[in-house]
Structure 1
Amino acid sequence: MMVVLIALGGAVGAVARYLVDRFVQARHDSVFPWGTHVANVLACLLFGFVAALGLPPWLFTLLAVGFLGALSTYSTFAYETLRLAQNRARLLALANVAASVTAGLGAAVLGTALADTV
């Protein structure tokens, strides 16, 4: 049953990630991977929120493991950072790492704090 919930959440999360990425990236004329950055930070914010709610295991699995696991993507972040470095945009690559880690952790803390107010 849990595998089915992960698959369902993941299917929706993967589509959401693609749509967020395209929506954001289309509005920025930059080589910086804003779409991936926004999708990952949004996933961190929502994960912090969901994790703090104390949801039943099946719902946590659907939302956090399935949906949010697919909404965020470490592999794309790593690939885009590598491509920036390979294309001699090393400062942007470093900025991507610093911004992603800082914003992701901050968003998770904020999400947890928001859940505590509910």
Structure 2
Amino acid sequence: MSALDPGVVAGVAVAGGVGAAVRYGVDTAARRAVPGYPLGTLVINVSGAFLLGLVTGLLASDHLGTALATVLGAGLLGGYTTFSTASVEAVVLLEERRWSAAALHAGGMLLLGVIAAGAGWWLGT
């Protein structure tokens, strides 16, 4: 697979769109379930970290090919997860002087994301 394999590029593009659509659905459902707190982004980024850890672990243990791992990782999970939204949500919580919620959101997402990625990696290998 070359860096610009047209099939992989197309797969990443399509999978990225699917990931973004799934992210929108998860976020919309979470905002309805827990108004006032950005739970959707937390769920999305932690589950995405787990899934990317899984994909990476499967790739490292030769259970997944590079092209498919790229489409799933860069495409699907790249479209699904969102660091920038999480950052802006933390800033909004700080602007609203919701210090505990901001700390929980930013710190909790980082800690849970690392744990989830490690669990996915472990499962994949």
TM-score calculated relative to the size of structure 2? 0.87
- Give, in angstroms, the shift of residue 3 of structure 1: 2.1
The corresponding residue for 1:34 is: 39
Give the counterpart letter for 2:55 in structure 1. V
| Identity between Structure 1 and Structure 2 (%) | 34
TM-score calculated relative to the size of structure 1? 0.92
Q: CA–CA distance in 1 between the matches of 2:18 and 2:91?
A: 27
Trace 1:1-118 onto structure 2 (pairs within 5 A).
1=6, 2-29=8-35, 31-54=36-59, 55-116=64-125
Give the 3-state SS of the residue equivalent to 2:33 in structure 1.
coil
Which stretch shows the higher mean deviation, 67-76 or 107-116? 107-116
- Give, in angstroms, the shift of residue 90 of structure 1: 1.8
Q: Which runs of 5+ in 1 are unaligned?
A: none
Q: Which runs of 5+ in 2 are unaligned?
A: 1-5
Give the counterpart letter for 2:103 in structure 1. L
Q: CA–CA distance in 1 between the matches of 2:44 and 2:21?
A: 11
- C-alpha distance after superposition, 1:60-112 (max 9, x if no partner): 11100000011100110011111000111122111111100000000001111
Give the counterpart letter for 2:98 in structure 1. A
- Give, in angstroms, the shift of residue 32 of structure 1: 2.0
Give the counterpart letter for 1:82 in structure 2. V
- C-alpha distance after superposition, 1:29-79 (max 9, x if no partner): 3x2210010011010010000101122121011100000011100110011
- Give, in angstroms, the shift of residue 115 of structure 1: 1.6
Which stretch shows the higher mean deviation, 37-46 or 20-29? 20-29
* Root mean square deviation, CA, Å: 1.0
Decide which structure has the larger Cα Rg and report it.
2
